[in-house]
Amino acid sequence: MEREVRVRFAPSPTGPLHIGGVRTALYNYLLARKLGGKMLLRIEDTDQNRFVPGAEQYIMDALRWCGIEIDEGIEQGGPHAPYRQSERKPMYRQYAQQLIDSGHAYYAFDTAEDLDAMRARLTAAKVPNPQYNSITRAQMRNSLTLPEDEVKQLLESGAQYVIRLKVPRKEEIRFNDLIRGWVVVHSSAVDDKVLMKSDGMPTYHLANIVDDHLMEITHVIRGEEWLPSAPLHVLLYRYLGWEATMPQFAHLPLLLKPDGTGKLSKRDGDKLGFPVFPLEWHGTDAETGQPTVSSGYRESGYLPEAFINFLAFLGWNPGTQQELFSMQDLIDTFTIERVSKSPARFDQNKVRWYNEQYLRAKPDAELAHYLIQELHTQGLAVPQEKAEQIAALVKERATFPADLAKEAQLFFQRSTTYDEQVISKKWNAPVAAALAAFAQELTTAPDTTPDGIKALLTQVVEGQGMKLGQVLQALRVAVTGAAAGPDLMHIMHILGAPETAQRIQLAVEKLAA
């Protein structure tokens, strides 16, 4: 029988989720939904020293905002609960014991000083990467080197120890990565990783493998930074007797800074001029202890659909020209095979472009709703119909919802200044006279639709022996104060004939003075 596809997102709650983490969660989710499987959220909090309060809640809130739904997790529960590793602590010990019993792991009693001395010795001997491994373990204090009764006595006396994996000296470890193909690593490059710490907590490696096995995970999709750990994980599956159901691995490409000079990291915070976190994060500065705020996509006015569409394309493409994909489109189209091996560069213009597309595609009624609320905070009451007209007109100039309100200001406030460049070039006595005549006609015009206004304007201007092009910019400045903006005929239509006429008359008076 085919196994049900089960994937997991397994963040450590050490801080806010970075956009690379969101992308990992997204690809897992897309695969799960596409193949009718399950998406798990497992909190990997075995490293208590790195625990950051609020991070776990942040992760869940961020995934929810993105529309990444979790089937099994700490909130949802599920057949393999608990989904928080700190609550699973008693489960791991037996597997470490199993590895010891089968000769694949051992007790190590070395003190911090012993380890430092070993590193110093190896460094002095010019060993490039000093490690506790198949060679160096022979000189250390562990259950492979000490006499059996001494080991027994040490264990009984409650001496501090860790449990390490006994990595073979000469073996090729191979696995097939769904994105990278065959990965072959020689075991001499793998160190004897600690599986169980002296405080009785499992390390990431042991807990991760045990949980992936117990939770029946079929695909491990995670960031490239975990690729060096994968050979170790393959050994763990083998030694625990779980190789037949070992998940398939897929290591995602790195996310680079916009200039391609390195990995986009959490530490980049707001330094690069764009958020690296989905939601705003309130943290503490590690050095000063002062509160810090890092901006988030949500608070910066990005729509989750746009953010997700953008992220999906950082490392994946559908192989067609299509760029706009809803979550459902992504689910339908996504395949691991089309995830790229090469790193993806963050592109700030692209994420803004996506936001514009999604914002402008929203129904005017929805944009109007936003506009009404926003203007309300400024003490302005705007009827739905008018808000819809404004939204429809200004959305082409907006990247974020807040831009709608900014662009809408001209409808509620007469400008106190007039664009000087336009005035000096385009404003003169005949233009002012033509505009005054137009304002006069407008107050009694029967047709104040945008087309009606344009016809009237043309008629008045041509009646004065001028062309429309000679007055248009001056008219825009008279009505709005600015040299550029949305379609002028529509602006005048929404403002209404009386207000438009008054604004023109005012400009004519002021600019004549």
Instruction: Specify the long-range contacts of residues 88-97, CB closer than 8 Å, at least 24 apart.
Output: 88/207, 88/211, 89/46, 89/200, 89/201, 89/202, 91/210, 91/214, 92/196, 92/202, 92/206, 92/207, 92/210, 93/196, 93/200, 93/202, 95/206, 95/210, 95/240, 96/163, 96/195, 96/196, 96/202, 96/206
Instruction: Specify the long-range contacts of residues 257-265, CB closer than 8 Å, at least 24 apart.
Output: 257/345, 257/346, 258/345, 258/346, 258/347, 258/348, 260/343, 260/345, 264/18, 264/19, 264/20, 264/346, 265/18
Query: Residue written as tokens 């239509």?
Result: 493
Do 410 and 480 form a contact (C-beta atoms < 8 A)? Answer: yes
CA dist 484 → 226, 472, 473, 480 (Å): 51, 11, 8, 9
Of the candidates 32, 43, 44, 24, the one whose C-alpha atom is nearest the C-alpha of residue 7 is: 32
Do 213 and 242 form a contact (C-beta atoms < 8 A)? Answer: yes
CB of 45 to ligand GLU, least distance (A): 9
Considering the complex, state which of residue 10 and residue 391 has its C-beta at the smaller distance from ligand GLU.
10
Task: Report whether the peptide linkage leading into residue 82 is cis, meaning its omega lies within 30 degrees of zero.
Answer: yes
CB of 489 to ligand GLU, least distance (A): 55
Is 266 labelled as part of a ligand binding site? yes
Strands 172-177, 181-186: pairing is: antiparallel
Beta strands in 253-382 (DSSP E): 255-256, 281-284, 291-294, 344-345
Residue 436, C-beta contacts closer than 8 angstroms, at least 6 positions apart? 504, 505, 508
CB of 41 to ligand GLU, least distance (A): 11
CA distance 107 to 371: 65
CB of 203 to ligand GLU, least distance (A): 11
Considering the complex, state which of residue 91 and residue 144 has its C-beta at the smaller distance from ligand GLU.
91
Considering the complex, state which of residue 208 and residue 389 has its C-beta at the smaller distance from ligand GLU.
208
Considering the complex, state which of residue 234 and residue 382 has its C-beta at the smaller distance from ligand GLU.
234
Length of the chain, in residues: 513
CB of 150 to ligand GLU, least distance (A): 36
| 40: three-class secondary structure by DSSP | strand
CB of 321 to ligand GLU, least distance (A): 33
CA distance 495 to 410: 9
Catalytic residue selected from 197, 257, 263, 266: 266
152 an active-site residue? Answer: no
| Burial class of residue 465 (count of CB atoms within 10 Å of its CB; 0-12, 13-18, 19+) | exposed
CA dihedral 106, 112, 116, 119 (to 10 degrees): 20
Considering the complex, state which of residue 12 and residue 133 has its C-beta at the smaller distance from ligand GLU.
12
Footprint on this chain of ligand GLU (rule: CB under 6 A) = 10-12, 44, 204, 208, 222, 226
Considering the complex, state which of residue 221 and residue 327 has its C-beta at the smaller distance from ligand GLU.
221
CB of 208 to ligand GLU, least distance (A): 5
Considering the complex, state which of residue 207 and residue 368 has its C-beta at the smaller distance from ligand GLU.
207
Considering the complex, state which of residue 137 and residue 233 has its C-beta at the smaller distance from ligand GLU.
233
The Cα angle at residue 319 between residues 317 and 321, in degrees rounded to 5? 95
The Cα angle at residue 384 between residues 382 and 386, in degrees rounded to 5? 65
Strands 194-196, 162-165: pairing is: antiparallel
* Bind-site residues for ATP: 266
Q: Which residues are catalytic?
A: 266
Residues annotated in a binding site: 266
